[in-house]
Amino acid sequence: MINQLSILIPTYNEDCTSQATELQRYAASIDGLQYEILVSDDASTSLEIVQKNAQIESMDHCRLLHQSSNIGRASNRNSLVKQARYDWLLFLDCNVGIDSEDFIKSYLPCDKADVVSGGVTIKNDPQLSSNNLRYKYEQKIAPKHTALQRQLHPYQSFRTTNFMARREVMLAHPFDETIIRYGYEDVLFGKRLCDANITLKHIENPVVLTHFETNENYVAKLEEAMHTLHDLQDELRGYSPLLSTAERLKKAGMLALTQSFFRKNSQNMRKNLTGDRPRISWLNPYKLGYFLSIDE
């Protein structure tokens, strides 16, 4: 049973005060638990957010770290690992909600694994379900993200949104700071855990996704992620369904045809995906076409 825990929250232009307050309340209610909550601000540009998060410094068992310049997601996470006091680390994204008062307590018996993933969920929202692409995507993949389904392919199913790990594992296998663009940081980390024979357990202890970017911003992030995947394709072979699809098309001699289709239809596809009624069925074809267009 774990009795010491560092809760680590990397942030950038996000208000973490409510999240830190909630986590502090849950942690304080657990008998015998020594804990700390570390929030690392990656040089936020919003003065309002900086002022709000400053309240964290006065909260019991909480520390607020300030990066002097924007060092990126991977470096900010690695910095938190180095600053943590305890041997077990719980990483949480800064914009997630926690629905269960037993959220922290549910992680504590999981000391037999090296890394434990709690998963994510969304709340039912009919409006977002009709007009928000990110929400529609999370809604579509939700049946594949139960703990039982994730454990079938544990390393390929890893997400950095909500997980616990031994500090020694994170020090030995830090996040790759050479990844500058958005995307696939978690996939690469999962692969390296597998390569190192690190035990990874999936449990049903989800956080709630509460932040859904605009369709335009989400598509732009996905396009950026396709460039990241292109850079990492040799290392991530077998860990990306999109890469597997691209390889099948290549073997079948259909790359040129797929690229031609994308050139002719990409503008209309993008217009739909960034519009008010995006078709989720167009998301994967758009990502595949965009990825293949990078080599043209």
Let me know: does 170 contact 89? Beta carbons within 8 Å.
yes
Strands 115-117 and 88-92 turn out to be unpaired
More confident residue, 195 or 181: 195
| 284 confidence band (pLDDT: 50, 70, 90) | very high
Q: What does the pLDDT average to over 213-219?
A: 97
Q: Which of 146, 176, 209 is the last residue of a domain?
A: 209
Domain holding 110, by residue range, is: 4-209
189 and 73 part of one domain? yes
185 and 100 part of one domain? yes
219 and 143 part of one domain? no
Look-up: residue for tokens 């050139």? Answer: 263
The phi, psi pair for 35, rounded to 5°, reads: -145, 165
Rounded to an integer, what distance in angstroms lies between the CA atom of residue 59 and that of residue 167? 24
Query: 23 is written with which tokens?
Result: 């986590």
pTM of the model: 0.93
Q: Which of 209, 226, 261 is the last residue of a domain?
A: 209
Let me know: does 197 contact 172? Beta carbons within 8 Å.
no
- Residue 10: name the closest of 61, 60, 121, 84 by CA: 84
The tally of domains found in the chain comes to 2
44 and 156 part of one domain? yes
Cα–Cα distances in angstroms (integers) from residue 148 to residues 118, 121, 142, 151, in the given order: 11, 14, 12, 5
Rounded to an integer, what distance in angstroms lies between the CA atom of residue 127 and that of residue 112? 42
Q: What does the pLDDT average to over 34-45?
A: 95
> Across the chain, what does the average pLDDT equal?
94
- Residue 39: name the closest of 99, 70, 79 by CA: 79
221 and 124 part of one domain? no
Q: What does the pLDDT average to over 148-165?
A: 95
141 and 46 part of one domain? yes
pLDDT for residue 180: 79
Look-up: residue for tokens 């396009």? Answer: 223
Query: 56 is written with which tokens?
Result: 């964290």
**The residue type at 110:** C
Count Cβ atoms below 10 Å from residue 270 Cβ, excluding itself. Answer: 18
Quick one: 264 exposed, middle or buried, by C-beta within 10 A (0-12, 13-18, 19+)? exposed
